[in-house]
Chains A and B, each alone.
Chain A
Amino acid sequence: MNRAAPQTMPESRRHGSARVLIVDDHKTNLLKMSLAVKNLGHEAICKQDGPSALEELSRGNIDIVLLDIVMPDMSGFDVLQSMKSNANLRDIPVIVISSLDDDVDSVVRGIELGAEDFLPKDFNPVLLRARLGAGIEKKRLRDLELEYLRQVDRLTKAAAVLEAGNFNPSKLGIQEVSGRGDALGKLARVFLSMAQQVYERERAFRARIATLRGGFILLAVGALYGLLTPLSRLASFSDAHPWALSFWMNLLGSATLIGIALCRNRLRPVARKDWPYLIALGAIGSLAEVLLFWATANLPASTVAMILVMDNFLVFAFASTTGFETADFRRLFGVFLGVIAVGIIVLSGQRVSGGGNWVWYLAALAVPAVYAFYYVLTASRLPAYLDLFATWGIVMAISAVITFPIVWLTGDFARTGDFVSDPQLLFVVLIMAGIVTVGGVLTVILTKSTGSVFASQCSYAITFFGIAWSVLLLRESISLWNWVGLALMVLGLAIVGPRQEAELEPPAEFMDDASRA
């Protein structure tokens, strides 16, 4: 029995060499057959009963079976029957062993149950070689056929998956099929290259649409927020206090947005873990507003508007250091152009006004820094279960709550009457509240769909519109250098571009198939 013990796994199945499972309850027969099989250059695996033979078969590396019929407990017929009812074992050829002289019936029954052939007990080497060879060859052809059918199936499935959605064809696991040298391989290669072309085309097309849509929203946000700068300067003419202005704006805005969310029945309770995030957003938002009011009270609105564009550089620095977006040379260059533009504007402004007022310049520079942090925060983790209006309404309500004690302590509520008695101031506050409300929602949409770097480009637009509105509403004048700076900003916007679209992953069950293949 020692010599017939199961062999090691085949490292290489040489041509003509097969793994032969021999099943016989009698040790001497088993030894005889294993020696005979090895003599023909095959590998012999010996089992003395049906159950252990089936267990060996289920490991899936047997090429052919030599099966004795007469065995106690589980006969050869039983083994044959359970093999034929198992889809994985059905195609393994079985040769039944029988003494033909008195057992014709059992040979016939074995063949009827699906045995490939039979071998008499007193077989000779020539007969054994012929029968084994025929069975093994049949198994090899069947294996090739099954492999072919499996690859055809993969190709068909891949085609169906591609038709259902826009997936990267190179991820569909049909490279193996396309490596075949025959007609099927050629078909797979043609299919793959065509699918790849269609995929790339659609991807580029969608990226263009995203840029275009992002561009429109960006201009709208710019036009709205740009109006904020000259309006805050107008408000400061009426001697309004920054904290009070921020409080009223946020109160009106949050009332409107939460009202909308309620009407749409979209107001959900906020999860406890999201509160710190929303509170941070609210605090940063009101801080940015107050800083803006302070700066515009003391500097020309157009200059403040120009400085706002600084946040591009800062957003990019935040987002690329935290890994939210990739920093490549092209995008860095775009941001660099924007910074140069701001430098030109600030320096030319200093030259005209003869310097001074650096504190207010610093306050103005702090605004974009705060905005930059704000954009990155918005892009990173807005709670998905919250409606856009509800989110923004809650954030503005938090801003109002935060500014309330400050307004109370500074005694600015006493001057609330000013708002009512000064129709111009009331009008300005109402418009500013509307701007912050609509602009905030648009900013979230923009940041979510294009990424924080692209969204921060809206500060270019805000700057541009801020200058335009300042000229229109406040009759401020713009120097030639300022125009040069603006041109550079527009160029920077074009160079940075929106965030790369993520690739869709094919359906999970298909990928399971592919990894099994």
Chain B
Amino acid sequence: MSIDREALLDLFNLIGEDPQGLAELIESFLEQAPLLLDEMQRAAESGDNAVLCRAAHTLKSTARDFGAKQLSVLCETLEKLSRQGLPDHAAAQVDVISATYILTERELGGCLADLKRGEWPG
């Protein structure tokens, strides 16, 4: 389990326990995260550590909101490393984050389906 459903429930609680709102939020995350990953990839390849740092920062905090702990921790590490300059093996690190995201995406997709069927969060 790479998704902490408790965190998703906090989010659900924050927006006034609105299942439709939560579904929209998850859809937004699933739409935006790949864009951030692309941005990180390009920045790592071109050596732009500032863009890499900012994108990692954004993905870190949104991933945390959606209970994707592992993804968030990896992004946090990359954000800290890229703050001073381009870290070693930056592109490889972005690849690891992308692979982790595939798992996150699959699980969040499952949550979304449950939500839409009305089977979760109850």
Which residues of A line the B interface, CB within 8 A?
A: 1, 3, 25-29, 31-32, 35-36, 38-39, 70, 72, 99, 102, 121-125, 128
Contacts and interface: CB of A to CB of B under 8 A. Distances in A.
Contacts of A35: 14-16, 18, 21, 25
B98 to A, nearest CB: 18
Nearest to A128: B14
B58 interface: yes
Given A35-B25, A124-B10, A28 B16 contact: no
B11 interface: yes
B84 interface: no
A28 B64 contact: no
29 contacts: A3-B24, A25-B58, A26-B32, A26-B58, A27-B28, A27-B32, A28-B25, A28-B28, A28-B29, A28-B32, A29-B58, A29-B61, A31-B28, A32-B25, A35-B18, A35-B21, A36-B14, A38-B16, A39-B16, A70-B54, A70-B57, A72-B54, A99-B61, A102-B76, A121-B61, A122-B65, A123-B14, A124-B10, A124-B13
B92 to A, nearest CB: 23
B31 to A, nearest CB: 8
A36 B24 CA distance: 13
A35 B16 CA distance: 8
A31 B25 contact: yes
A1 B57 CA distance: 21
Contact residues on B (Cβ < 8 Å of other chain), bracket: 20 to 34
A125 B16 CA distance: 9
B116 interface: no
A27 B31 CA distance: 10
Contacts of A1: 28
A422 to B, nearest CB: 114
B15 A122 contact: no
Contact of B13 (A3, A102, A122, A125): A125
A489 to B, nearest CB: 89
Nearest to A39: B16
B54 A124 contact: no
A102 B80 contact: yes
Contacts of A28: 25, 28-29, 32, 62, 65
A35 B24 CA distance: 10
Given A26-B32, A27-B32, A102-B76, A32 B14 contact: yes
Of B11, B21, B60, most buried by chain A (CB within 10 Å of CB) is B21
Q: DSSP majority for the B interface?
A: helix
A263 B64 CA distance: 97
A3 to B, nearest CB: 7
A124 B14 contact: yes
Of B11, B15, B54, most buried by chain A (CB within 10 Å of CB) is B15
Contacts of B62: 26, 28-29
A40 to B, nearest CB: 8
Of B18, B58, B80, most buried by chain A (CB within 10 Å of CB) is B58
Interface in B76-120: 76, 79-80
A310 B100 CA distance: 110
Q: Which 8 A-B pairs have the closest CB atoms?
A: A39-B16, A35-B15, A121-B61, A28-B28, A35-B21, A36-B14, A28-B32, A26-B58
Contacts of A29: 58, 61-62
B17 to A, nearest CB: 9
Contact of A3 (B21, B32, B60): B21
Given A28-B28, A39-B16, A102-B76, 12 more contacts: A3-B24, A28-B32, A29-B58, A29-B62, A31-B28, A32-B25, A35-B16, A36-B14, A36-B15, A72-B54, A99-B57, A122-B65
Contacts of A26: 32, 58, 62
Contacts of A27: 28, 31-32
B58 A39 contact: no
Interface string B4-44: 00000011011110100100110011011000000000000
A65 to B, nearest CB: 19
A32 B10 contact: no
Nearest to B54: A70
Contacts of A3: 21, 24
A124 B15 CA distance: 10
A25 B80 CA distance: 20
A31 B58 contact: no
B87 to A, nearest CB: 16
Contact of B24 (A31, A72, A102, A124): A31
B5 to A, nearest CB: 16
A49 to B, nearest CB: 14
Nearest to A36: B14
Nearest to B33: A28
Interface string B49-75: 000001001101110110000000000
Nearest to A1: B28
Nearest to A103: B57
A121 B24 CA distance: 19
A102 B80 CA distance: 9
A184 B25 CA distance: 51
Contact of B15 (A25, A32, A102): A32
